[in-house]
Structure 1
Amino acid sequence: MSRDGRVPHAANLAFTFEKMLQHWGIDRSRVHVVLRDNARNMVKALNDINLASLPCMAHTLQLAVNEGLLSQRSIIDMVKTGRKIVGHFKHSPQAYSQFHDIQEQLGQPRKCLQQDVITRWNSTFYMLESLIEQRRALGAFATEHDLPATLTMHQWGLIENVLTLLAPFEELTKEISSSTATASDVIPAITMLKRLLEKRADTDFGVGTTKATLLEAVQRRFSDVEKEPLYMLATVLDLRYKNRYFSNEVKDQVKQELQTALQRETSSPPEEPAAEASMARGPDPEEASAAKKPCSLLFSVHDEILKEKTEVEQQLASPLSVQVQSYLSEAPIGRSENALTYWRINKDKFPALAPLARAYLSAPCTSVDSDRLFSLAGHVADERRNRLSGDKAEMLLQA
């Protein structure tokens, strides 16, 4: 959006992209993919200048979950009541002081309720989670003090079922928001989500309409991911997934795309050695430890899919090239392992595929990590530090 509040025209965005590439001396052939939001003007701008692009998965997931939450009146009313309760404490320090006293009397730690933000669905998840955690303290508070609204027994049960329903979405949002998440995670994640939403559960009581709407929204908004070559190649070149997540009808197309990309790569001049740095990058220690934590629901589907697809894959396998066939016969690595680390170690074993992996696994699946960087930069270089040089600002950001 421009400074005067107007939405830029696609032609203006396209011109800005062209100017940016020229200013930084970036050859168009080296732009693998541009990550964008779902705005039509942005999609058209990138199409007009022939730059491949992918939508931010987190943004699309936000739209899908919002559709689900807004599809059922009882859930809308429950969320509104929860917001009124949280808002009461946020606007009254005295009420919070009394609430903390009650928490201490009950032997609970002093905690505040989570306020949600409409533009972030998972903040609503955390708000409901905090209400459930403080249910006993809120009940005790309501017996002695006035609240603008109270939750009924049915609404408390509804909160628990909504949290169970949205837990896989929250788990996935954290997963794809890490700096090590790539475009290869999109197809497997959507496949796992759809399978979970198709299953019936005891906790579906009261949230059936929301669950059906969530499934429909995920299917519709991510309907083309399995057919998108950029996602296809990223997934098949990630040894955690390979071609196990593709339907039988699409597997032959995936292999053909891989073979075509392989031929294109071998006929083009080699890339500069500096690009090796991106392949050698391992996962951040903190993120790696977080990724190894057991995932109770969503990612348990991963093992199911690998077991189901093994026999089918062997039956359908057809010789394309020795290198491609040899790679596809490799056993998958664990989900918590880093695919780029695998390719760094095995680049001599698969010399033609390794450059492809470096290119297609370099693209993130969300803009969350870059948004964090811009937010951090905004705290470092502000109106009070407007004379800070670019070099010093970069040093502060890396510190």
Structure 2
Amino acid sequence: MLNNAVLGTIQLKGSHTSENIAAELKATQTKWNFPTPIATTDNAANERKAYEINKWERFGCLGHKINLVVKNSLGVSELGKLLGKARKMVTFFHQSSSITDLFLEKQKVIFSGQSEQEQLIGHKLIIDVVTRWNSILYMLQRLNEQFPVLMALANDPSLTKHASTTMKNCIFTFEEQTVIENLVSLLDPFEKATTIFCADKTPTMHKVLPITTKLLRIIEISEEDIPVVRRVKEKMQEELNRRATSDKITLLGCIMNPFTKNLDFVPDQRESAYSYLREEVFSNFMEVDIKKEKCNDERTCAKDCEPESPNVETELTEEGKRKIASPQIIGQPCKKIKSADTEEWLDDVVCTGQSVINQGSVAEIELQRYLGTKIAEGDQVLSVLEWWKKHECFFPRISKIAKKYLSIPGSSVSSERVFSLCGQIVNKKRCRLCPKNVDLLVSLNKNMAYW
């Protein structure tokens, strides 16, 4: 798969038009001799168009999708006043060191002597950042956590008139505090989901469908929801259903996880997923190496021969299940490989002719065996990659599909981290580093753990 960091670097060059991005992508593929890639990018229109031009598959970063879902959902009018008060409160503390000192003193008075709350002493208020939705969650969590301290400080007679007025205008009422508590509980699962699929060293594509299903269940509207939270949930449902729809890559990534291959949590999509898998298996089953032997000067020499693709006819039954007809293998008879302990005297018997193997039947059997295999209790301690390493020999064709789709990251966070690292390396005091040295430093930082 084409590395996301490479894709991001390509997009920084020259114009950002779709045609230029597509040309840069194609040139990079040719230069590095990449196979046809499936890459994860953000959801910008010019990037989507660039992949359409090159006729490459792409997956829209789930991190960007969730960011847009949450930001658009928090834009409802009912929350504008609350978030405005929260930002004004935090900004006031950041601009006044004396108020911050009083805030820390109140923490010691209120939280001291309580083992569970002593760890809250020293926590400062957090301001949100426009480009990161989870910073809104962190800001609200900290305000919710420090609400008793803020209430005590707002009624402190030692405050100046200006500070007292600002605090009383920005402090949440008890009704608003209830809204904040409910909002924090609603946003917390989105933060957990973001943390899961932003992993660098473990596959994440097989988790995309379970994560989106989990989030859809969490934002189901309940009769107990207060009006503001109900409005936010409605907006979240609308955004998530529009942006995080299941596609071929998502379904194949999930079905390549042997622990979730039955798709019990989304039974309505099971038939589509199995259809995609069947197409992949039968379009790639000839990639499994077949050893043949050719005769040269009356001496046997083993050589790999790529057989011609068999003619496989498919038809769709009334039930919508795909059946594979008996394939006809096309090719000239050639010498076969013999074992090392087979005498030459038997060459005319075992090393001539051609065995006709119904590759379609073999692939279908492997497919059915994979879908029907139960997970052993001892395999529960294995990760997805460890399971495939252990069982690869039993599913040679499907394991190739697993490598293809499990290697696709669920988000483009890895490349964003590379850009952040470059910004830390190239600073005002190190502004004359040549590009080659920057590349080496970034490569060392990202790969030292593997050496």
Shorter-chain TM band = 0.7 to 0.9
Distance in 2 (CA, whole Å) between partners of 1:3 and 1:48 is 15
Q: Which residue of 1 aligns with 2:105?
A: 101
Q: 2:28 aligns with which of 20, 25, 28?
A: 20
Q: Does 2:273 match 1:230?
A: no
RMSD of the alignment, in Å?
2.9
- 1:391 deviation in Å? 3.6
Distance in 2 (CA, whole Å) between partners of 1:170 and 1:371 is 18
- 1:240 deviation in Å? 2.8
- 1:393 deviation in Å? 4.7
TM-score by length of 1: 0.79
Q: Indicate conservation of the 8 Å contact 1:86/1:115, yes or no.
A: yes
Q: Indicate conservation of the 8 Å contact 1:376/1:397, yes or no.
A: no
Q: 1:323 aligns with which of 349, 359, 366?
A: 366
1:346-365 correspondence runs (5 A):
346-365=391-410
Distance in 2 (CA, whole Å) between partners of 1:84 and 1:337 is 49
More strand by share: 2
Taking a change above 3 Å as real, the CA distance of residues 360 and 212 of structure 1, as seen in their structure-2 partners, is same
Give % identity: 25
1:135-150 correspondence runs (5 A):
135-144=147-156, 145=159, 146=163, 147=166, 149-150=170-171
Total equivalences in the alignment:
347
Taking a change above 3 Å as real, the CA distance of residues 99 and 336 of structure 1, as seen in their structure-2 partners, is farther
DSSP 3-state at the match of 1:342: helix
Deviates more, 1:316-325 or 1:9-18: 316-325
Amino acid at match of 2:188: A
Highest RCO, 1 vs 2 (Cα 8 Å, sep ≥ 6): 1
Q: Which residue of 2 aligns with 1:121?
A: 133
Amino acid at match of 2:396: P
- 1:16 deviation in Å? 1.4
Distance in 2 (CA, whole Å) between partners of 1:101 and 1:23 is 62
Distance in 2 (CA, whole Å) between partners of 1:336 and 1:173 is 24
**Structure 1, unpaired ranges of 5+:** 271-315
Q: Does 2:284 match 1:241?
A: no
Q: 1:87 aligns with which of 84, 91, 109?
A: 91
Q: Which residue of 1 aligns with 2:216?
A: 194
Q: Which residue of 2 aligns with 1:34?
A: 39
Larger radius of gyration, structure 1 or 2?
A: 2
DSSP 3-state at the match of 2:393: coil
Q: Indicate conservation of the 8 Å contact 1:164/1:203, yes or no.
A: no
1:175-324 correspondence runs (5 A):
175-179=196-200, 180-200=202-222, 202-204=224-226, 206-223=228-245, 225=246, 228-245=247-264, 247-268=266-287, 321-324=364-367
- 1:235 deviation in Å? 1.0
Deviates more, 1:354-363 or 1:162-171: 162-171
TM-score by length of 2: 0.70
Amino acid at match of 1:394: S
Distance in 1 (CA, whole Å) between partners of 2:369 and 2:238 is 38
Q: Which runs of 4+ in 1 moved over 3 A?
A: 1-7, 201-206, 245-250, 316-320, 330-337, 390-393, 396-399
Distance in 2 (CA, whole Å) between partners of 1:330 and 1:343 is 13
Taking a change above 3 Å as real, the CA distance of residues 394 and 153 of structure 1, as seen in their structure-2 partners, is same
Q: Which residue of 1 aligns with 2:123?
A: 111
Q: Indicate conservation of the 8 Å contact 2:275/2:322, yes or no.
A: no
Distance in 2 (CA, whole Å) between partners of 1:201 and 1:368 is 37
**Structure 2, unpaired ranges of 5+:** 1-7, 113-117, 290-319, 324-362
More helix by share: 1
DSSP 3-state at the match of 1:207: helix
